[in-house]
Amino acid sequence: MKKTGCAMLLAVLFLCLLFACGGETPAAAPSPSPEPTKEAAIPTEESIDVAPTPASATALPTVPTLPPELITPEPTPEPTPLPVTDPVITLVGGEELTVTADFTFTDPGCSANDWRQNDLTDRVRVSGEVVSYLVGTYDLTYTVTDDDGRTTKAVRRVSVVPAEFPEIVMPPEKTVYLTFDDGPCGNTATLLDVLKKYDAKATFFVVGNKKRTDMIKRAYEEGHSIGVHTYTHVYKSLYKNEQAFFEDFLKTQEVIREATGSYTRIFRFPGGSANTASRVNKGIMTRLTKIMEDMGYRYFDWNVTGGDSGSGATTESIKKRVISGLKTHTDFAIVLQHDIHMNSVRAVESILKWGTEHGYTFRALDLTSPYVHSNVQN
């Protein structure tokens, strides 16, 4: 009986499951007469025939599509208005600028825009001045006004600082720096031949308006130093003011560059730094000696002279004066001579011969050489 009861319970569950799945309730069949000797079969998973779900039972309803003319478009959002502000100035290189003292200053410039992003750079006005050769601090003010009348200002602070020099290298004792002013000229070729014969090096402080670039080029290529002396050598005009001196100096620099391919950083003031001819402008030598070094140019005076500019100078007197000076300045000697004077050029061979025999070496000046600065008189 327990087995028969279980079979009936499973049959009821099967009918409920079939009904829940959408099937029709089958007509009740007459219960068969139980056979006392035959047990009812228990249905298995394989024997249950589940009817398939009709397609209509799972299909979703179709949503009707409206024609385009009946669809209301989404409203376009209003653009966010740009904030109305004053013009903006952008300083190229920033608000703080540090430059080394030089003959000129080049403003890096700026850009400017209004709130509509219109370019206003051409309208910018700059006030203030940078004195490029004077160490100090300067302010430049940039001003621009837009079409709405709004004005903006920006300030740049420019610091002019002195140039740095390489460290001085003291040479061995008995080092001689022969220097020749006021050339080059026809005598310079003879002088170069003598220097080459003794493998001696020298320095030429040249006068630019002579335009003997051939001699400057030869001297440079043979290992001698080239320095600026002057372009005109007219004291009254070149010491008139700082700008006049700069123009004279730079003209000579261009002659040197043409001959050698580069500018020089060494020079000698016309008349030396202690000259009195510069008194056409009170105090100019005091100012120029500082300005030129702040810009990175080293000037050289002398501690030995041959006196070759004197009216009574001879080859013998020049030789004796130079040799006497070499004996006095055994640490190093910077000798002043002029290759425009042939008697001075003739004295050079005797000086080189004596110096070589007594252990002296002859070198060219550069920025690492020891220097002589005289006491400025103006």
Rounded CA separation 192/202 (Å): 9
Mark whether 308 is an active-site residue: no
Does pTM top 0.85 for this prediction?
A: no
Residue 93 is part of a domain; what is its CATH number?
2.60.40.10
Considering only 11-15, 23-27, 84-88, 256-260, which range has the smallest mean pLDDT?
23-27
Whose CA is closest to 305, among 353, 337, 343? 337
332, 271: one domain? yes
- Give the pLDDT band of residue 64 (cuts 50, 70, 90): low
Mark whether 181 is an active-site residue: yes
Q: How many CB atoms lie within 10 A of CB 91?
A: 18
Encode 127-196 in three state secondary structure: ECCCCCCCCEEEEEEEEEECCCCCEEEEEEEEEEECCCCCCCCCCCCCEEEEEEECCCCHHHHHHHHHHH
203, 276: one domain? yes
Q: Say which residue the tokens 């669809």 belong to.
A: 71
Mean pLDDT value of segment 332-337? 98
Of 161, 185, 202, which marks where a domain is finished? Answer: 161
Is the peptide bond between 184 and the residue preceding it cis, with omega within 30 degrees of 0? Answer: yes
Rounded CA separation 345/315 (Å): 8
Q: Which range has highest mean pLDDT (47-51, 80-84, 140-144)?
A: 140-144
Options 224, 229, 338, 341, the catalytic residue? 338
Mean pLDDT value of segment 163-190? 97
Q: Is the pLDDT of residue 37 over 50?
A: no
User: 238 and 230 in contact (C-beta within 8 Å)?
Assistant: yes
Rounded to the nearest angstrom, the gap between the alpha carbon of residue 242 and the centroid of all alpha carbons in its chain is 28
Residue 75 confidence (pLDDT): 75
Residue 315 is part of a domain; what is its CATH number?
3.20.20.370
221, 348: one domain? yes
User: 116 and 97 in contact (C-beta within 8 Å)?
Assistant: no
Q: Fill in the amino acid letter for 137.
A: T
Tokens, residue 116: 């509509």
User: 302 and 370 in contact (C-beta within 8 Å)?
Assistant: no
190, 233: one domain? yes
Q: Is the pLDDT of residue 301 over 80?
A: yes
The percentage of the chain sitting over the pLDDT mark of 90, rounded to a whole number, equals 76
Q: Radius of gyration (Cα) for the chain, nearest Å?
A: 51
**Is 19 inside a domain boundary?**
no
The answer for 199, left when phi > 0, alpha when psi is -120 to 50, beta otherwise, is left
102, 208: one domain? no
Beta strands 96-100 and 266-267, pairing class: unpaired
Q: Which residues contact 200 (CB under 8 A, 6 or more apart)?
A: 178, 352, 362
**Is 343 inside a domain boundary?**
yes
User: 108 and 92 in contact (C-beta within 8 Å)?
Assistant: yes
Range of the domain at 182: 175-362
277, 333: one domain? yes
Residue 27 confidence (pLDDT): 45
Rounded CA separation 160/135 (Å): 5
184, 260: one domain? yes
309, 192: one domain? yes
Question: What is the four-CA torsion angle of 255, 260, 262, 263, rounded to 10 degrees?
Answer: -40
263, 347: one domain? yes
Backbone angles phi, psi at 133, to 5 degrees: -95, -5
Q: Is the pLDDT of residue 48 over 80?
A: no
Rounded CA separation 102/97 (Å): 14
Q: Is the pLDDT of residue 28 over 60?
A: no
Encode pLDDT of 223-276 as tens digits.
Answer: 999 999 999 999 999 999 999 999 999 999 999 999 999 999 999 999 999 999
**Is 53 inside a domain boundary?**
no
Please count the residues of the chain: 378
155, 191: one domain? no
Tokens, residue 53: 């779900």
Mean pLDDT value of segment 292-321? 96
| End-to-end Cα separation, the chain, in angstroms | 143
Options 146, 181, 182, 248, the catalytic residue? 181
Number of domains in the chain: 2
User: 128 and 140 in contact (C-beta within 8 Å)?
Assistant: yes
**Is 18 inside a domain boundary?**
no
**Is 21 inside a domain boundary?**
no
184, 153: one domain? no
